[in-house]
């Protein structure tokens, strides 16, 4: 008996509604496959491009301990990229194709990485705010309907907790330091706070794919809900170490038990997403250069493998 | 595992299995690309065991993996469906007999 696509689609939806997980060989609607490839490759690219702003500071870390921590974190991000690329490959796309899409500017990555890291405190702010926001997103994705993606997220979340905490600890340390160190930390906070909030994407009323992705349990919470979750847990952490939230409208609502925030500048977000952020061009250039410069290493490994096969 | 038939400029795909500690079974951790078995093992260590997640790693070329397909999941597994006598709770013991299992 051959099922029609509509029947298959109903069965697929029923499976998801029952809370079952979709595995690579299971039948899935073409659009589910496409949407996941788009999301997962964007996510993998973000991990990889995310190494660049932090990589800038590895040679300038103020102590050997900080250097070791930063190296370990950046190596983790490379690993995250690999987990997600290989999870995305189970959907029938080749890693080389995804990487080409990144290098030719066809694929997107998280806009946060198009902001520069201007001082050492930025490394703390990235760990605490950027990885903190990523954890909120990724914890939700760990329960998504696609098995390989969800398993990659579970692995990643464990490692993100180290990224998050080391960043916060670093800022906490600076906030107990000299006046200059405190100002440095506050300056980093001022520049990264709003872009971190934008990481959750536009408000759901402006997010065209949301309804479909939620029906398929690829997305389990709205962008605004996740953003709120991040704000609620982060504001008290900022207050505890004396950092000010650069939002005069931020206040705690006693009735809802949530923080309310000021308007997000979505024009800036659109601008950065469409390629005009402070570092878009530089990031792509660095990626392509790393790929080109590393070619001889890959060629050598391949030649070595061939030689030993015979 | 990837089912891709698209020609690739990437290295061969490998499936990685890790054992958390001795005595436990190896579990599928994910996949990776590497030009040969030696590099696959080294990469598997760096990608899937940066925090002592494994005491042993297997890498297998993905093309060597054979698996059942979801489509014939019913007919493939149904020989087991009507054989309740394979389970101990199929059998009753006489009243008064104490049976610990
Ligand atoms: Fe990451
Ligand atoms: Fe991270």
What's B7's domain CATH number?
A: 3.10.20.520
Which helix (H) or strand (E) is B38 found in, with range? helix B37-48
More confident residue, B10 or A88: A88
Average of per-residue pLDDT across A49-67: 95
Q: pLDDT band at residue B4, thresholds of 50, 70 and 90?
A: very low
Residue B95, domain member (yes or no): no
pLDDT digits (tens, 9 = 90+) for A205-239: 777 778 899 999 999 999 999 999 999 999 999 99
Average per-residue pLDDT for chain A: 94
Q: pLDDT band at residue A20, thresholds of 50, 70 and 90?
A: very high
Residue B81, domain member (yes or no): no
pLDDT score at A64: 97
Indicate the residue of A92, A95, A97 with minimum beta-carbon distance to B3: A92
Q: pLDDT band at residue B3, thresholds of 50, 70 and 90?
A: very low
Residue B14, domain member (yes or no): yes
Chain A residues in contact with B50 (beta carbon < 8 A): 72, 75-76, 79, 159
More confident residue, B70 or A161: A161
Residue B94, domain member (yes or no): no
Percent of chain A at pLDDT exceeding 90? 90
pLDDT reading at A174 higher than 60: yes
pLDDT digits (tens, 9 = 90+) for A107-157: 999 999 999 999 999 999 999 999 999 999 999 999 999 999 999 999 999
Chain A residues in contact with B36 (beta carbon < 8 A): 301, 304-305, 308-309
> For chain B, what is the domain count?
1
Long-range contacts of A99-108 (CB under 8 A, 24+ apart): A99/A291, A101/A41, A102/A41, A102/A45, A102/A48, A102/A49, A102/A284, A102/A287, A103/A284, A103/A287, A103/A288, A103/A291, A105/A275, A105/A284, A107/A41, A107/A42, A107/A45, A108/A42, A108/A45, A108/A273
Average of per-residue pLDDT across A30-58: 96
Indicate the residue of A26, A89, A302 with minimum beta-carbon distance to B70: A26
Site of tokens 């250039």: A285
Query: What is the distance in A from the centroid of ligand 2 to the CA of A30?
Result: 31
Residue B16, domain member (yes or no): yes
Residue B73, domain member (yes or no): no
Provide, for chain B, the percentages of residues in helix, strand and coil under a 3-state DSSP scheme, each rounded to the nearest 5.
30, 20, 50
Q: Are the beta carbons of B36 and A79 separated by less than 8 Å?
A: no
How far apart, in whole angstroms, are the C-alpha atoms of residue B11 and residue A62?
38
Please give the residue range of the domain that contains residue B26.
3-66
- Confidence (pTM): 0.91
> Cβ distance A77 to A45 under 8 Å?
no
Average of per-residue pLDDT across A84-107: 94
Indicate the residue of B8, B35, B67 with minimum beta-carbon distance to A305: B35
Residue B76, domain member (yes or no): no
ipTM of the complex: 0.84
The residue in chain A having the minimum alpha-carbon distance to the alpha carbon of residue B5 is A92
Query: What is the distance in A from the centroid of ligand 1 to the CA of A121?
Result: 19
pLDDT reading at B5 higher than 80: no
pLDDT digits (tens, 9 = 90+) for A43-56: 999 999 999 999 98
Among A107-111, A123-127, B39-43, B73-77, the least confident range: B73-77
- Count CB-CB contacts under 10 A for residue A126: 26
pLDDT score at A2: 64
Average of per-residue pLDDT across B65-71: 86
Query: Hey, what are A273's tokens?
Result: 């997403």
How far apart, in whole angstroms, are the C-alpha atoms of residue A190 and residue A122?
10
């Amino acid at each position: 008996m051959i099922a029609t696509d509509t029947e298959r689609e109903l069965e697929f939806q029923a499976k998801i509604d029952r809370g079952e997980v979709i595995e690579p060989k299971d039948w899935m609607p073409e659009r589910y496959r496409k949407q996941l490839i788009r999301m997962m490759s964007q996510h993998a690219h973000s991990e990889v491009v995310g190494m660049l702003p932090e990589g800038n500071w590895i040679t300038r870390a103020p102590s050997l301990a900080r250097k070791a921590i930063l190296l370990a974190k950046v190596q983790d991000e490379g690993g995250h990229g690999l987990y997600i690329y290989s999870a995305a490959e189970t959907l029938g796309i080749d890693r080389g194709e995804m990487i080409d899409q990144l290098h030719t500017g066809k694929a997107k990555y998280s806009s946060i990485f198009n902001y520069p890291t201007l001082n050492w405190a930025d490394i703390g702010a990235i760990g605490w705010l950027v990885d903190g926001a990523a954890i909120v997103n990724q914890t939700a994705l760990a329960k998504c309907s696609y098995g390989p993606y969800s398993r990659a997220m579970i692995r990643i979340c464990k490692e993100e907790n180290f990224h998050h905490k080391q960043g916060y600890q670093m800022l906490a340390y600076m906030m107990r330091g000299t006046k200059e160190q405190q100002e440095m930390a506050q300056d980093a906070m001022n520049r990264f706070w709003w872009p971190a909030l934008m990481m959750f994407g536009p408000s759901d009323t402006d997010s065209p794919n949301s309804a479909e992705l939620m029906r398929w349990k690829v997305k389990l919470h709205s962008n605004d809900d996740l953003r709120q979750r991040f704000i609620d847990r982060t504001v008290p952490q900022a207050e505890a170490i004396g950092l000010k939230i650069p939002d005069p409208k931020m206040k705690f609502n006693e009735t809802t038990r949530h923080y309310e925030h000021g308007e997000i500048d979505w024009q800036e977000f659109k601008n950065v997403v469409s390629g005009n952020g402070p570092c878009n061009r530089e990031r792509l250039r660095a990626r392509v250069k790393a790929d080109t410069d590393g070619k001889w290493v890959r060629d050598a490994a391949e030649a070595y493998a061939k030689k030993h096969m015979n | 595992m990837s089912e891709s038939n698209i020609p690739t400029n990437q290295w061969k795909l490998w499936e990685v299995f890790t054992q958390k500690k001795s005595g436990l079974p190896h579990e599928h951790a994910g996949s990776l690309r590497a030009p040969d078995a030696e590099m696959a093992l080294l990469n598997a260590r760096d990608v899937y065991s940066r925090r002592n997640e494994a005491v042993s790693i297997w890498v297998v070329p993905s093309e060597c993996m054979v698996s059942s397909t979801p489509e014939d999941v019913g007919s493939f597994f149904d020989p087991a469906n009507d054989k309740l006598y394979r389970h101990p709770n199929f059998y009753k013991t006489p009243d008064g007999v104490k049976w610990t299992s």
